[in-house]
Amino acid sequence: MDYYLGIDLGTSSLKIVLADNQGRILGNSSSSFSIISEKEDYSEENPTDWLRAFDHAFSEILEKYPQIKENIVSISFSGQMHSLVMIDEKGNPIRPAILWNDVRTTEQVKQLKNDILPHLLSIEKNFPLEGFTLPKILWMMENEPENWQKVWKFMMPKDYLIYYLTDKVCTDYSDASGTIMYDVRKHQWDEEILKRFDIRLDQCPELLYSTDSAGVPTEQIKEKFNLTKNFAVIMGGADNACGALGTIDNIEEQGLISVGTSGVVLTYSNDSMNQVGKYHYFNSLIEGQDYKMGVTLSAGYSLDWFKTRFAPGEDFETLTKKAGESSIGSKGILFLPYLFGERSPYFNAKMSAEFVGMKAYHNDGDLIRSVLEGVAFSLKNVYQTMRDLSNKQVQKFRITGGVVKNPLWLQMFADIFNSPIEVLAIDEGPAFGALICAIHASTGQLPSEIWKKYNQVKKIYTPEKEAIEEYEVYYQKFKQLSDKMDASL
C-alpha cells in the first residue's frame, strides 16, 4: 500500500492529512502555534514554532499509523501566503516571520503606488497592498538594515518547512505570485523590480512547479523520525491555490466560496487584461492556469464579533435559530461588514462597519440575520466585480469553511448568488489540495480524477425563485451604500 500526505501550514496551526492509494482519507493530525503581536499593526511568528508543530503532527501520524513509515511515497505542502521568512547562510531565521496580516508597511505601499503602480499592474498583475511580500522587504531595508544585510535567502512559510526537510531553498509559482516581485506571465522573478530595490536574484528562492519535487528528506530528518526509505517532497502551493485544487474539479463550471475569518471568492481564469487591480490575480497549482480571487476581510469574523459583543452567553446554533425567525432582508436592516476596512473590490482601509435602517421594533434575530446577509452580499459584490470585468459566469459554487455547518447561511448564499451551492464530503481545503499535488506528482493522475476518487458532493443548496428576487432588492441597496461609503472616504 502506498501513502501520501498533504500538509497545510496555516496562520494558527499546522495540519496533516493522510491518504492511501485506494481513495481513502485515513486520518489527520494537527499542532497549533501562536502569533506574536508586540505592537499595533504588527503580526509575526517564529519559524521554529512551525518546525515544532510539524515534528509534533508528523510524529503523531507515524505513531497512529505505523504501517505508513516504510511506504510513504510523497508529501506536499500548502501554506499561508505572502508572509516573509528570511534566513542567513547557516539556514537560521534572522528574525520572526512578518505575516500576511501585518500592516506596518503602509508607507512602503504608498511608495510603490506612487513610483511603479503601472509596472505592478502590467507585470505582477496586482495592486500593492500591505499584506504582500515586497512591501515587507522594503520595510526591512528601511527599518532593520542590519538584519537585511544578513539575508542569504528569503522565502514563504511552507518553503521554510521544505528547506527544513530537504536543505533546498525553493518556492512555487502560486506563492511567488503573492510577492508582487514576480512576472506572472513569464514565470520568473521580475529583475526590473529586483534591480530597482537592490534585491539580489540569488536571494530569491528557486522557482518550481507545484507538482515538482524539491528533493527527498535529509539523512538528519530520516534519523530524527526513524525513517529508512526516502519519499518525494513535492512543492505544493499557496493556501488559496491549494484550497481551489482541493475543492474544484471542473475549472470551467465551478467557483469557490470560502467563509472563514475572512471570505474568498475564487474562479479560474487566464484573463489578466481587464481591470487588474480590482481583484487578485495569481498563478494556480495547475500548469498554465491562473485564477482570480477577491477577499472580504470580515466574513465569519463578523458573526464572531457580534456574538462576542452582544451575545457572549449564546452559542452559534442559538444565534442561527434566532436569525431564522426573522425574514429575508432582516426586516429592513442592512449590515455592512467592513470591520477592518475592505479589500475587494474597494481596497479601502477607511471603510467601516454599519447597521443601516435600525428601528425600535427590530430584535436581535433581525440583527443576526443582517450580519449573515451582509457577509453574503459582500462576497456577491466581490464576485460580480470579477464576473463583470472578465465576462465569465460560473455555473455553480462549492463552499468551504465554518459556513458548511450552517444550513440557513448556506441557503442564503444559494439565493443571494442565484447559484447552486455544493457542500463536499471532505472539507479539508488547502491540506486536501496539497495532498492532490503529492498524488499527482507520484502517479501522473489528473487532479480532477484524484479529486473524484477521494471526494464527492455531499449536499446541494438550490436557489429559490422568490427568495432570489427579494434578496436582489436588498443587495442593490447594500451595494449602493457600500459604493457611496467608498467614494466618500
Give residue-wise pLDDT tens across range 324-373: 999 999 999 999 999 988 989 998 888 999 999 999 999 999 999 999 99
Indicate if 226 and 334 belong to the same structural domain. Answer: no
Query: Residue 112 above 80 pLDDT?
Result: yes
**Looking at the domain assignment, is residue 434 inside a domain?**
no
- Whole-prediction pTM: 0.91
Q: What is the pLDDT of residues 443-489, one digit of tens each?
A: 999 999 999 999 999 999 999 999 999 999 999 999 999 999 999 99
Residue 191 is predicted with a pLDDT of 97
Co-location of 314 and 422 in the same domain: yes
Model confidence band, residue 416 (pLDDT cutoffs 50, 70, 90): very high
Confidence band, pLDDT 50/70/90 cuts, at residue 387: confident
Query: Residues 66-78: pLDDT tens digits?
Result: 999 999 999 999 9
Is pLDDT at 389 greater than 70 in this prediction? no
Is residue 390 scored above 70 in pLDDT? no
172 is catalytic: no
Q: What is the pLDDT of residue 275?
A: 65
Residue 84 backbone phi and psi in degrees, to 5? -100, 120
Whether residues 64 and 187 share a domain: the answer is yes
Give the number of domains in the chain.
Answer: 2
Instruction: Based on the fold, state whether residues 151 and 182 are members of the same structural domain.
Output: yes
CATH of the domain at 109: 3.30.420.40
Same domain, 40 and 145: yes
Residue 90 corresponds to which cell in the numbers above?
A: 547557516
pLDDT at 274 over 70: no
Mutual angle of helices 157-166 and 47-64, in 10-degree steps:
60
Residues 344 and 475 in one domain: yes
My answer on whether 259 and 157 are in the same domain is no
Those residues whose C-beta lies under 8 Å from the C-beta of residue 328, and which sit 6 or more positions away, are: 415, 467, 470, 471, 474
Whole-number Å distance between alpha carbons of 87 and 452: 40
Contact partners, residue 290, CB within 8 Å, separation at least 6: 184, 268, 269, 270, 272, 281, 282, 283, 284
Same domain, 472 and 406: yes
Task: Tell me which of 241, 276, 295 is where a domain ends.
Answer: 241
At 212, is the pLDDT very low, low, confident or very high (cuts 50, 70, 90)?
very high
Check whether 103 has a pLDDT greater than 80.
Answer: yes
Q: Which tens digit of pLDDT belongs to each residue from 15-31?
A: 999 999 999 999 999 99
Residue 63 lies in a domain: yes
| 435, part of any domain | no
Q: Are residues 234 and 254 in the same domain?
A: no
Judgement on whether residues 327 and 415 belong to the same structural domain of the protein? yes
Residues 130 and 199 reside in one and the same domain:
yes
* Residue tagged active-site, from 20, 239, 249, 290: 239
Q: 65 is in which domain, residue-wise?
A: 3-241
Same domain, 203 and 152: yes
Phi and psi, residue 205, nearest 5°: -70, 155
Residue ending a domain, among 180, 212, 241, is: 241
Task: Examine residue 380 and state whether it is found in any structural domain, yes or no.
Answer: yes
What is the pLDDT, as a whole number, of residue 371? 98
Name the domain boundary from 211, 241, 271.
241
